[in-house]
Amino acid sequence: MTNPWMIMLVGVITVFVALFLIILFLLGFPKFFSALKKKEHKKLAPLPEIVEVTKKKAQAGLLSQSPAEDDEELIAVLTAAVAAARGSELGSFAIAQVKQAAAEGCGFNTPVWGRVERLSRK
Amino acid sequence: MTNPWMIMLVGVITVFVALFLIILFLLGFPKFFSALKKKEHKKLAPLPEIVEVTKKKAQAGLLSQSPAEDDEELIAVLTAAVAAARGSELGSFAIAQVKQAAAEGCGFNTPVWGRVERLSRK
Amino acid sequence: MTNPWMIMLVGVITVFVALFLIILFLLGFPKFFSALKKKEHKKLAPLPEIVEVTKKKAQAGLLSQSPAEDDEELIAVLTAAVAAARGSELGSFAIAQVKQAAAEGCGFNTPVWGRVERLSRK
Amino acid sequence: MEAFFSHFISSTGFIAMTWGQLIMLTVSCILLYLGIVKEYEPLLLVPIAFGMLLANLPASGITDGPKDGLVGGLIYYLYQGVKLGIYPPLIFLGIGAMTDFGPLIANPWSLLLGAAAQLGIFIPFIAAYYMGFDLKSCGSIGIIGGADGPTAIYVTSRLKPELLGPIAIAAYSYMALVPLIQPPIMKALTTKKERLVKMAQLREVSKAERVVFPIFVTILIGLLLPAAVPLVGALMLGNLFRESGVTERLSDTAQHALINTLTIFLGVSVGSTASAARFLNPQTLMIIGLGLFAFSCGTAGGVIFGKIMYWITKGKVNPLIGSAGVSAVPMAARVSQVVGSKEDPTNFLLMHAMGPNVAGVIGSAVAAGVLLTVLE
Amino acid sequence: MEAFFSHFISSTGFIAMTWGQLIMLTVSCILLYLGIVKEYEPLLLVPIAFGMLLANLPASGITDGPKDGLVGGLIYYLYQGVKLGIYPPLIFLGIGAMTDFGPLIANPWSLLLGAAAQLGIFIPFIAAYYMGFDLKSCGSIGIIGGADGPTAIYVTSRLKPELLGPIAIAAYSYMALVPLIQPPIMKALTTKKERLVKMAQLREVSKAERVVFPIFVTILIGLLLPAAVPLVGALMLGNLFRESGVTERLSDTAQHALINTLTIFLGVSVGSTASAARFLNPQTLMIIGLGLFAFSCGTAGGVIFGKIMYWITKGKVNPLIGSAGVSAVPMAARVSQVVGSKEDPTNFLLMHAMGPNVAGVIGSAVAAGVLLTVLE
Amino acid sequence: MEAFFSHFISSTGFIAMTWGQLIMLTVSCILLYLGIVKEYEPLLLVPIAFGMLLANLPASGITDGPKDGLVGGLIYYLYQGVKLGIYPPLIFLGIGAMTDFGPLIANPWSLLLGAAAQLGIFIPFIAAYYMGFDLKSCGSIGIIGGADGPTAIYVTSRLKPELLGPIAIAAYSYMALVPLIQPPIMKALTTKKERLVKMAQLREVSKAERVVFPIFVTILIGLLLPAAVPLVGALMLGNLFRESGVTERLSDTAQHALINTLTIFLGVSVGSTASAARFLNPQTLMIIGLGLFAFSCGTAGGVIFGKIMYWITKGKVNPLIGSAGVSAVPMAARVSQVVGSKEDPTNFLLMHAMGPNVAGVIGSAVAAGVLLTVLE
Ligand code: NA
Ligand code: NA
Ligand code: NA
């Protein structure tokens, strides 16, 4: 293509077409996702509390640097409590665990107790 | 150059000359900048208060994570207040705005309200 | 080597041998280091207090951002006090100083007073 | 020994210095002044200006390639990331991680304003053609009107690397000057009644929408315009890191260590292309002029399309948000807010202008894809 | 003009798209779903899936090398760090800085569990051989059972780069699925009595031990198996930064900016190797199947050796910690804890399982060294 | 099968090991001990020592270049940043962002002390010449006296890369030993009366001065000595990021993620040049000896010039601050403080010594420029 007017025409049209296709897509969002949301609410309902408890613990650990023994007990109690209280199938529980780790952004392979251990090292 | 003594001579002289030129320059600093300072004081006088207000807001937002509505209102009020109170030409006001953003180190393209929005997302 | 069974054999044996050698080494740790620890305790006994004082100061400076004058005085007093109180040979004292800097993670070449100065700049 | 010293002195830069270099050193100091004191896009203008300064110190060899067994200069190596098109997409990764597409998702029609403002690319493209530039230069000049640094540098590095210096400097300077360039155009093109329009509150956008958006846009734009994939893909990957909620580590690094490092490298090496020999010629002045024209066209395009939307919606859209379609995030959106609040201090256009503002980034990436497809 | 437009349209990806690419785009979206919604190893699955998505957008050229004077695509350059074996060891540097070898030092015998679980590498190696793969492919497939991403990528990039896509995806997917894969195997191989064993509290580990450990392991493994030096050396250097107490700056950067940046680059470029042409063939399905087999073998190997230790120690070792020997830090250790606490909620196996867990990382690096020595 | 195993065993490092490598492993362990336990410049000594350790594990190939279609080793690629002169200036960027030139601006005359201490470069240069080293080696040996790691590595990598190992190790070791090396020399060269001088409080330095300083120094040094531009320019750009107040993001990254990453890469790859074959020879001992001589000369040069200033100012300058002119920031300045406070505990020389201290960095960069101009 060497005709500048043609390039301009192609350019302007492409930009409008591309962005208009995105608009079409976005206009469908509210309906689609409001339907999706209701399902999610049911599925994920019990999760937040667990996450919250762990987060509080994590923050407490990070801020107060309490001794490792306390934290370890806390984790043990927490784990046991959750396992006991839910008495549910292993799969879902294990994934909830995984969820917490990721949500806290600890990432890769330092587990919560690893960090606790680290913070409390003398 | 292959004569080590000559290299040494050139080296020592160059180091002293270079650093002495810097000295000459630095000796002129106090006079030059004390003159400059007076001018600046007049020009920039009204700025600090604006910056300060915004900074307080930013810190508050960052620390307390108050709901977005409050912050948005605060920004709206702040913006309106500044605009009204100054009743000044657009240019200077706009640049003052720019100044704040940079000073807070938010950088690139995340505006204050973007961050506020982000912090308060549920 | 092109016999997969041979490769497997070599692999499994190598893994076990390698990790077993580490085990042998680790089994010697407790004895070796408990002996070492006693020596260290004697040598390093007076250090912790110095480090602690400086750390408190550093934290105070970082959190409260108190004026530079105060901090400088504090450093001067601290330095003088330590020097006076110990009245010891220079070498050990200098190294204790170095130790503090590194322990605080300030690293490279920004000294404590550099950071203090920086925090308090208007 | 005299010969010895005179030989050494002849190797200093004082002797080798040309008038052009002296001028360029002055220009770089002015740019540093604008960046530091006037705070015009300092994050890029400071590295660019310093790179320009370093490149115009005679005889330092800091931009020279390797030869005769000697290794090249520092900036020669840093420049490879520009030349190979690596830095701009990775900077877009960081920008994506910093960008909130929420206002755009809440008000999809604002994408049209982001499209209209790309006239700021194509009209100067034509203008440059009739001023005698070859097509590749025209594309590089036009992209200034995209008001988006990494896009401008990416396109220019592929089409016309010789023009990197003036184009990058024009793009970043005018982005900083948006608060001065846009308001007169906005006022001239709108009526008081239009400027007084208050827009309806935006709806809340869910996390799921935010996550699906970058994935979808990548696929759509990627299929429509393969040449835009590096820019759009990186922008959207960064945004996905941000919005997915499970990759905060990556989002954080993309927004800080990675983008800052590459900004330094990009700025210094782009600035270094503005050597006296390359920079000081009539072309540069024309580019600087066309850049201003480009920003004006973009602003006008957005505002005019805003007026069209005002008419179609019977007064529900304030045309002032159209000017934000040029990108220059978030300055252009702020200008909409400021101009609007001058008419009515209780009118809060900021969030509404953020939609066209981020749409402008996508729009200019698409326009860049067209130019690369047609001209590369 | 018609010809003009039709030419332009023919350059879009819609036309060039193959069925295979469509399938791969769907697969990448499924992987994004697993990564983001199911949170299966999102830090790597999201970049990998997005890289796969980008590589399967037709005609973008983002993975093409330089030719005819044109520079290469972004991912071509990012991929060099995989091809040259640079990213995986540097990611290991960060992992080393994040790893606490304390539980291993406190209980050295757990290293044997980390060794036994490497059966998950060598049994599938044999299986792949009899399924018709050549030896280098067998090595790459076997290493999936190491349950360690950087090791798998490092080995595969040296032995059989063509298989990087399926192998990396299998490795990371199964690592995320460890909580589903392991428990049935663990229960099938152990008695209730074994699962109820409570282990003695671990002793405290001093700083000196933590510092000497990485230095010694590097020398020992380095002498025994030179090919493992890049992986083991980097892992241990990172750990030394962490434990020395005097290089916190370096440890911090290795754990954040450096590992995150390289994770993005590695993920995107590894994902990009999964183009339709390479990925969609019967081999891939076999690899996916063998990967699951590998994880199962590793788990079984660890648990069975755990039973042996249970017998030898007369009931002092709970065989459930054996499954943690596959690596997949820290998921596999958590699974030991969860399975154990299901039998007795007051049994706390986490710390005990961390020993075999980090031992598994060393074990698979050693196994990788053997495969590289024998097959490269 | 026997042959099989014996073949495999012959590939281990135990067999290939030489006495030299065993000695070097011991040396690297000693350096790790000095870095970690004695805390001698641990941020560089730990990576250097670990690089040395890795390079002396036989047969690992970690420093080998690519050949016969096989890719090179990890450290071969990391080393390219040293070889091409990229790491040292970028590390200087970070150091610039960490350096406060305020005390120097407040007391310009302290620059002369930073100049005088460069005798620690040029006297050993002559000494090395008469000990039989060629001129390029002399330059590399002399630069140890600059007491500045990146400068020493930059110069050596350009003049005599074979000597990188011993020179880097000497430079960093003696920098850590400054508190032991300097005091006896300082006391021997000064009288009690001189050491008791209390200096006047430094004036306050404004932001504008801090901003103009790096720009001006870059231009001046750049014109006077083009070869010093990469080092001085990077140092001053980093300082400008710090002082401008508008580029905190860039300053932060330069001070952390960037400098830490490059410190790891530089340290490991510099350390890896100290292979047994290269390191264990009489030259190394001579270099170690000349390095100590260099530090002593630098200290003496600074103190003697301090005495001259004491005479000229009639007792207003304490000669003890002269020793800080060798660089080794901030250790040398602390030594001035400590030696001064031993005579009078109320004498506070720290801030006064910081002037010569940072002047020494500029001074040795200038000296490096001279050596590169004359010898490269
Ligand atoms: Na734009
Ligand atoms: Na493993
Ligand atoms: Na020096």
Residue D350 lies in a domain: yes
**pLDDT tens digits in sequence order for chain F, 376 residues long:** 666 677 777 777 777 788 999 999 999 999 999 999 988 889 999 999 999 999 999 988 999 999 988 899 999 999 999 999 999 999 999 999 999 999 999 999 999 999 999 999 999 999 999 999 999 999 999 999 999 999 999 999 999 999 998 999 899 889 988 999 999 999 999 999 999 999 998 888 999 999 999 999 999 999 999 999 999 999 999 999 999 999 999 999 999 999 999 999 999 999 999 988 888 889 999 999 999 999 999 999 999 999 999 999 999 999 999 999 998 888 999 999 999 999 999 999 999 999 999 999 999 999 999 999 999 8
Q: Does the pLDDT of residue C108 top 90, yes or no?
A: no
* Residue D279 clears pLDDT 50, i.e. is over it: yes
Longest dimension (CA), chain D: 87
Is F115 within 8 Å of B37 when comparing Cβ atoms? no
> Higher model confidence: residue B32 or residue E221?
E221
Let me know if residue A43 belongs to a domain.
no
Higher pLDDT residue, E69 or C119? E69
Is residue E305 domain-resident?
A: yes
Q: How far apart are CA E231 and CA E154, in angstroms?
A: 8
Helix (H, G, I), strand (E, B) or coil at E70: strand
Domain membership of residue F60 (yes or no) is no
Q: CA F39 to CA F53: how far, in whole Å? A: 18
Taking the centre of ligand 1 as the mean of its atom positions, its distance from the CA of residue E17, in whole angstroms, is 29
> For A3-17, A36-50, B5-19, C33-47, which range has the lowest pLDDT when averaged over its residues?
A36-50
Touching check for E374 and chain F: CB below 8 Å? yes
Q: Per-residue pLDDT for B55 more than 50? A: no
Give yes or no for a contact between E218 and E236, defined as CB atoms under 8 angstroms apart: yes
Q: Which domain range does residue B26 map to? A: 1-34
Summarize pLDDT for A45-99 with one digit per residue, the tens.
Answer: 343 333 333 344 334 333 333 333 333 433 433 333 333 333 333 222 322 222 2
E52 CA from centroid of ligand 2 (Å): 26
Give the pLDDT score at E4: 67
Domain contains C14: yes
Q: Which of F111, F212, F376 to mutate to probe the B interface, most B CBs <10 Å?
A: F111
Q: E-strand spans in D40-152?
A: none
Tell me, in angstroms, the distance from the centre of ligand 3 to residue F358's CA. Answer: 8
Per-residue pLDDT of chain E (376 residues), as tens digits, is: 666 677 777 777 777 788 999 999 999 999 999 999 988 889 999 999 999 999 999 988 999 999 988 899 999 999 999 999 999 999 999 999 999 999 999 999 999 999 999 999 999 999 999 999 999 999 999 999 999 999 999 999 999 999 998 999 899 889 988 999 999 999 999 999 999 999 998 888 999 999 999 999 999 999 999 999 999 999 999 999 999 999 999 999 999 999 999 999 999 999 999 988 888 889 999 999 999 999 999 999 999 999 999 999 999 999 999 999 998 888 999 999 999 999 999 999 999 999 999 999 999 999 999 999 999 8
> Is residue D330 in a domain?
yes
- Torsion, CA E179, CA E180, CA E183, CA E184, rounded to 10: -170
User: What domain count does chain D have?
Assistant: 1
Three-state DSSP state, E67: strand
**Banded model confidence at residue D9, pLDDT cuts 50, 70, 90:** confident
Interface probe with A: pick from E1, E10, E34, E39, most Cβ of A within 10 Å: E39
Q: Looking at the 3D structure of chain B, how many domains does it have?
A: 2
Amino acid at E342: K
Residue E85 C-alpha from the chain's centroid: 15
Q: Residues near A32 by Cβ (< 8 Å), separated by ≥ 6?
A: none
Q: What is the pLDDT of residue F197?
A: 93
Q: Which residues surround ligand 3, an ion (CB under 5 A)?
A: F 146-148, 327, 360, 364
Given pLDDT bands bounded at 50, 70 and 90, which one contains residue C37? low
E257–chain F Cβ distance below 8 A for any pair? yes
pLDDT at F152: 96
Residue F277 and residue F268: Cα distance in Å, rounded? 18
Interface contact flag, C95 F38, Cβ < 8 Å: yes
For chain D positions 97-156, those within 8 Å of chain F (CB to CB) are none
CA C116 to chain CA mean position, Å:
21
C98 vs F307: which has the higher pLDDT: F307
Residue C120 phi, psi (nearest 5): -95, 0
Mean pLDDT, all residues of chain C: 53
Phi-psi region of F317 (alpha: psi -120 to 50; beta: other; left: phi over 0): beta
Kindly report the pTM of this predicted structure: 0.86
What is the pLDDT, as a whole number, of residue D142? 96
Whole-number pLDDT of residue E68: 85
Looking at residues C31-56, what average pLDDT do you find?
A: 51
Q: In terms of residue numbers, what domain contains F95?
A: 85-375
Which residue did the predictor score with more confidence, E79 or D279? E79
What pLDDT score was predicted for residue E1? 61
CB < 8 Å to A10, chain E: 4-5, 8
Question: In D253-306, which ranges are E strands?
Answer: none
Long-range contacts of the stretch F340-344 (C-beta < 8 A, 24+): F340/F195, F341/C79, F341/C80, F341/C83, F342/C83, F342/C90, F343/F192, F343/F195, F343/F196, F344/F196, F344/F198
B37-51, D318-332, F353-367: least confidently modelled range: B37-51
DSSP-derived letter for residue D203 is: P
The answer to which of A27-36, C34-43, C77-86, F323-332 has the lowest mean pLDDT is C77-86
Collect all residues of chain B within an 8 Å Cβ-Cβ radius of residue F312: none
Distance (Å) of CA D204 to CA A30, B68, C74, D329: 10, 12, 53, 21
C43 lies in some domain: no
Q: Is the pLDDT reported for residue B52 higher than 70?
A: no
- Between A97-101, B63-67, D332-336, F38-42, the lowest mean confidence (pLDDT) is in A97-101
CA of C10 to the centre of ligand 2 (A): 17
The answer as to whether A45 is a domain residue is no
Predicted confidence at residue A82, as pLDDT, reads 36
Predicted local distance difference test score (pLDDT) of residue D298: 96
How far is the C-alpha of D170 from the C-alpha of D284, rounded, in Å? 10
> How far, in Å, is the centroid of ligand 1 from the Cα of D293?
14
F53 token code pair: 């350790």
pLDDT score of C101: 32
What pLDDT, on the 0 to 100 scale, is given for residue A1?
67
User: Which candidate, E368, E364, E320, E369, places its Cα nearest to that of E114?
Assistant: E364
Q: What is the largest CA-CA distance in chain E?
A: 87
With bands split at pLDDT 50, 70 and 90, how would you rate the model's confidence at C56?
very low
pLDDT of residue B76 exceeding 50, the answer is: no
Q: Which residue has 């002129």 as its token pair?
A: B28
Q: How far apart are the first and last CA of chain D?
A: 56
- Measured between CA atoms, how close is E135 to chain C, in angstroms? 7
Tell me which residue in F105, F114, F249 faces B107 most closely, judged by beta carbons. Answer: F249
**What integer pLDDT is reported at residue B58 of this predicted model?**
39
What is the pLDDT at residue A98? 27
Amino acid occupying residue E347: N
Contact assignment for B26 to F213 by CB distance below 8 Å: yes
Reading the block at residue E230, the tokens are 């890049």
Phi, psi of E269 (to 5 degrees): -80, -35
For residue A44, what are the CA distances in angstroms to A50, A92, A99, A103, D206?
A: 11, 11, 11, 14, 15
Judging contacts by C-beta atoms under 8 Å, the chain F residues touching residue E244 are: 35-36, 42, 46
* pLDDT, tens digit (0-9, with 9 covering 90-100), for D27-53: 999 999 999 998 888 999 999 999 999
Structure tokens of A59?
């923050």
Per-residue pLDDT band for A40 (boundaries 50, 70, 90) equals low
SS3 state at D67? strand
Model pLDDT for residues E106-123, shown as the tens digit of each residue: 999 999 999 999 999 999
Say how many Å lie between the CA of residue D120 and the centre of ligand 1: 8
